[in-house]
Amino acid sequence: MKEFQAIQAPKGVSEYFPPRSQNFELVRETLIDSARISGYQLIELPMFEDTELFKRGVGESTDVVSKEMYTFEDRGGRSITLRPEGTAGVMRSVIENNLDKGQLPVKIWYSGAFFRAERPQAGRYRQFYQVGVEAIGASSPELDVEVIAIADRAFKSLGLKSYRLEITSLGDAASRNAHRKDLITFIEKMNLDAETAARAVLNPLRLFDDKREEIRSAMQNAPVLLDYLSPESAAEFASVQEILGALGIAYTVNPRMVRGLDYYTGTTFEFIHEKLGAQSGIGGGGRYDGLMAELGGADISGIGFGLGVDRVLLACEAEGLFDPEFAAGKLKVYLIALGAQSKSATIKLLNDLRTAGIASDMAYGDRALKGAMKAADKSGAQYCVVLGENEISSGKFEIKDMKTGTVKEVTMSTLIDFLAE
RNA sequence: GUGGUCGUAGCUCAGCUGGUAGAGCACUCGGUUGUGGUCCGAGAUGUCGCGGGUUCGAGCCCCGUCGAUCACCCCA
């Protein structure tokens, strides 16, 4: 007879708990800060949407929509999908709430969980976290670069080094159509296996990304989209590169870059980290000219990106960027009550410290002093105060610096000032 | 979704050709009166992922299943 069956987390979900959650939080906040200081504001959206939104917005031919969505029927018989990416939902909300009727561009950021039913792998989860930005309603190379710079600045301020930025341009519709025609003609002569041929029909650009050497070398001579750009598109792309150069943001042009979502046009980019194995993309994005109109909004352009928080965290770990003390916690002071009589005064002091904004904690239960000191040590607190009857009655404490071991005498009235310094 | 590898204490792992489990770290307590991080001593801890099967007997063999991992597909 079985007493219980332990319940496991669903397949492929990542969880962040202490101490690593501290690093996760740092990564996410750093990514968000970079957007905030560039004038972007929060948009908080539902995690599930009408399935139709993604079919129309992301594109039915994409892998994401055709085989990776968590779709279910709700109690009203509506088809609902857990969001697999962020941009479509943002566009929906912008249109629905008339955000595009005010001053443009609308600049917003978001952060949260996304869902794709793929086979899990390191850095690829079924529930994953992204920080994204969208700048909607203006089309200019400066804005393209601003968005790229937000990501680049965030990575740099985390201390990341082993990553590179790849950019390309998908041009306007006329450029893409001309190229597509020639590319298909080229591919039809390639004598592909059935599976690969089927993939080529869905999106011929995919073949540029194939990992097999024979396909790679065959594709060396395939026509690339950059050679088909209209004069306007080419000029825009040149301008993007010029501004990137002026800002000192290193990049390489990769004419064979492939993006997985149908809505991209014009400038597109990808950040790739070199120490992450197969799932090396830590962020990517691009311009989307037709998306707003496709979803029933005004015919205005936008640009945005999604950064993978899980992957950026892995990248930071691969580069050994985290200070162990940071992960340990951020307590300023740790209190130890000695004896039952001291407890209530200690609790009161702890509460006062917290109210004063000083991160503090105390030893719970009735641990021996030695055990309590150990707990103080492990908490990572900067200081420790032991409160016994003497301290409570005299109002004078010894505050100990846990790093140096030095002790200093303070009084009840000067303690908060001392710690708030 | 396809293929390879793996799944033993909280963590990292050991466990020889099948005979009912061990180490290090961590944890708890102690090393005489109220001060941690080092050192010494003692102690607790395991549905051997789960379910079947083969066997007198399985952590070790077989099947299934769940999960992880690596690669493919694809992507953050």
Q: Name all domains of chain A by residue range, CATH numbers in brackets.
A: 20-172+249-318 (3.30.930.10), 174-229 (no CATH), 330-420 (3.40.50.800)
Q: Does residue A307 reach within 7 angstroms of strand B, measured from its CB?
A: yes
Is the pLDDT at A3 greater than 70? The verdict is no
Tell me which amino acid residue A107 is: K
Is the pLDDT at A106 greater than 60? The verdict is yes
Q: Does residue A64 reach within 7 angstroms of strand B, measured from its CB?
A: yes
Q: How far is CA A214 from CA A148, A194, A208, A225, in A?
A: 33, 16, 12, 21
Q: How many other CB atoms are there within 10 angstroms of residue A32's CB atom?
A: 20
At A47, list the tokens.
């995690």
Q: Protein A7 CA to nucleic acid B8 C1', in Å?
A: 20
A 84-123: CB within 7 Å of strand B: 85, 116, 118-123
Residue A77: which region, alpha, beta or left (left: phi > 0; alpha: psi -120 to 50)? left
pLDDT in tens, A204-248: 888 888 888 888 888 888 999 999 999 999 999 999 999 999 999
Q: Protein A338 CA to nucleic acid B34 C1', in Å?
A: 8
Residue A322: which region, alpha, beta or left (left: phi > 0; alpha: psi -120 to 50)? beta
Q: Does residue A196 reach within 7 angstroms of strand B, measured from its CB?
A: no
pLDDT in tens, A120-156: 988 999 999 999 999 999 999 999 999 999 999 999 9
| pLDDT for the residue numbered A200 | 84
Q: Give the nucleotide nearest to A121 (CA→C1').
A: B69
| pLDDT for the residue numbered A84 | 96
For residues A255 and A226, the answer to whether their CB atoms sit within 8 Å is yes
The whole-number average pLDDT for the span A249-268 is 91
| pLDDT for the residue numbered A2 | 35
What are the φ/ψ torsions at residue A219 (nearest 5 degrees)? -75, -10
Q: Protein A130 CA to nucleic acid B10 C1', in Å?
A: 31
Q: Protein A9 CA to nucleic acid B67 C1', in Å?
A: 9
The whole-number average pLDDT for the span A368-379 is 89
Question: How far apart are the C-alpha atoms of A387 and A100, rounded to whole Å?
Answer: 60
Q: Does residue A206 reach within 7 angstroms of strand B, measured from its CB?
A: yes
